[in-house]
Amino acid sequence: MNLCEENTLTATARQRIFSGVQPTGNIHLGNYLGAFRNWVELQDSFETIYCIVDLHAMTVDYEPGKLEAARIDTARILLALGVDPERSLLYTQSQVPGHAELAWILGTMTPMGVLNRMTQFKDKTEMGSSPNLGLYSYPVLMAADILLYRANLVPIGDDQRQHMEMTRDLAERFNNRFGDVFPIPEGYFPEVSSRVMSLTEPHNKMSKSDPQIKSRVAILDDPDVIRKRIRSAVTDSDPEVRYDIDQKPGISNLLEIMAACTRRSVDDLVEEHANGGYGAFKDAVADAVVEELAPFKTAYKALNNGDVRQVLHDAGVEARDMASSYMREVHKVIGVKRY
Ligand code: AMP
Ligand code: TRP
């Protein structure tokens, strides 16, 4: 397992895992190494619930006609990566009304000052997204997703740390006011590669929405495309391979990617490649990425969309039942009697 000791220790004492992904296409190596690989590995030891968060995806411009295809494709990729419907619930957020309802309730106890500090809202609006209320309260909906199922651990990438902190604060705020309803959840991060950087601008994270296609390796890219992307990754001109985020962000990123794919340590890789030159090093990184991703394309092709839809349907029914019984408890403690 590619987990740091801190994670492993925490995980053994915990029980339920929840995480989410937006159906926004372009799923990439960063999503996989930062989050989805842990989604798959955690299935071995925990109860796992994974959600395609389509309500979140509506907070930025989206095309209604393309949403369904994006939901199915996201699910199909997750199944190809190894999310196993026999062991995990994999469903879409809009199938379960409890997410939006709990978000409203949590929103009544979320100070605007806290939301004003959220960097994702600032980043997205600076990049041109309209500053709508949904985008502003996005982290409250994320907190609701997690708390709805009383999750303990949340496998995510580094960019979600701030949202995770807010989720913990909201859980504590709710519990202080209404009694011990929610476990305080913890983020669960990979030891390396919790923030995979862009291949073209290594100071920015690899992102689904980057207009530069060369900035990322997509999960389903063919081996020759992967090799091309890694070979053209932006690096510096000093030929030594060493880990130095400030002076060598591009090389450090490739070292982390390779460490994650080969499950070897960065130190070990540096020792092997320090003086071999960037060309040979990049080829070795590309080989490691190709080897890691190759089985997924085959698995993706073997699935069909009808089966994927069935998985989402069945898990959605189960998640809805589970959520509605948890919501009954919330209603009770907040004083909302049901007639
Ligand atoms: P998103 O693409 O925002 O739907 O993210 C899905 C999951 O992938 C979340 O847990 C993110 O934290 C994670 N993630 C997204 N981009 C990266 C990245 N560049 N490096 C590591 N993890 C990432
Ligand atoms: N905000 C997450 C992202 O952009 C997606 C998400 C929504 C999520 N709800 C969640 C992740 C609950 C973990 C748990 O990547």
Write out 137-202 in H/E/C secondary structure.
Answer: CHHHHHHHHHHHCCCCEEECCHHHHHHHHHHHHHHHHHHHHHCCCCCCCEEECECCCCCCECCCCC
Q: What is the dihedral of CA 131, 137, 139, 142, to 10 degrees?
A: -120
Helix axes 266-273, 278-302, angle to 10 degrees: 130
- CA-196 nearest atom, ligand 1: 20
- CA of 24, nearest ligand number: 1
Q: Nearest 5°: phi and psi at 258?
A: -70, -40
pTM: 0.95
Choosing from 159, 188, 205, 289 the residue with most ligand 1 atoms within 8 A of its CB, the one to mutate for a pocket test is: 159
For tokens 């968060």, the residue is 53
Class of domain 213-300: mainly alpha
87 in Cβ contact with 39 (< 8 Å): no
33 in Cβ contact with 296 (< 8 Å): no
Phi-psi bin for 337: left (phi > 0), alpha (psi -120 to 50), beta?
A: beta
- CA-159 nearest atom, ligand 1: 12
Query: Closest Cα to atom 6, ligand 2: which residue?
Result: 20
Residues of the chain with pLDDT under 50: 1-6, 8-9, 11
- CA-141 nearest atom, ligand 2: 9
- CA of 185, nearest ligand number: 2
Ligand 1 binding site (Cβ under 6 Å of any ligand atom): 21-22, 30-31, 34-35, 156-157, 159-160, 194-196, 205-206, 208
Q: What are the tens digits of pLDDT across the range 97-136?
A: 999 999 999 999 999 999 999 999 999 999 888 899 999 9
Q: Just list the catalytic residues.
A: 124, 205, 208
What pLDDT sits at residue 61? 86
What is the distance between the alpha carbons of residues 45 and 320, in angstroms, rounded to a whole number?
23
Choosing from 21, 162, 196 the residue with most ligand 2 atoms within 8 A of its CB, the one to mutate for a pocket test is: 21
Give the count of beta carbons closer than 10 Å to the beta carbon of residue 203.
11
What is the distance between the alpha carbons of residues 77 and 261, in angstroms, rounded to a whole number?
18
What is the distance between the alpha carbons of residues 213 and 310, in angstroms, rounded to a whole number?
32
Query: Ligand 1 centroid to 238 CA: how many Å?
Result: 30
Q: The domain 3-189+304-334: what is its CATH number?
A: 3.40.50.620
- CA-120 nearest atom, ligand 2: 4
Query: Ligand 2 centroid to 314 CA: how many Å?
Result: 22
What pLDDT sits at residue 13? 52
User: Which 8-state DSSP code applies to residue 62?
Assistant: -
178 in Cβ contact with 334 (< 8 Å): yes
Q: What are the tens digits of pLDDT across the range 69-108?
A: 999 999 999 999 999 999 999 999 999 999 999 999 999 9
Residue in 109, 161, 113, 107 with CA at minimum distance from that of residue 137: 107
Give the residue extent of every domain in the chain: 3-189+304-334, 213-300
Query: Closest Cα to atom 17, ligand 1: which residue?
Result: 30
**Alpha-helix runs per DSSP H in the chain:** 5-12, 29-31, 37-42, 54-57, 64-81, 98-107, 112-116, 119-126, 133-136, 138-148, 161-178, 223-231, 249-262, 266-273, 278-302, 305-334
Query: Closest Cα to atom 14, ligand 1: which residue?
Result: 31
Choosing from 27, 28, 31, 36 the residue with most ligand 1 atoms within 8 A of its CB, the one to mutate for a pocket test is: 31
Q: What are the tens digits of pLDDT across the range 22-46?
A: 999 999 999 999 999 999 999 999 9
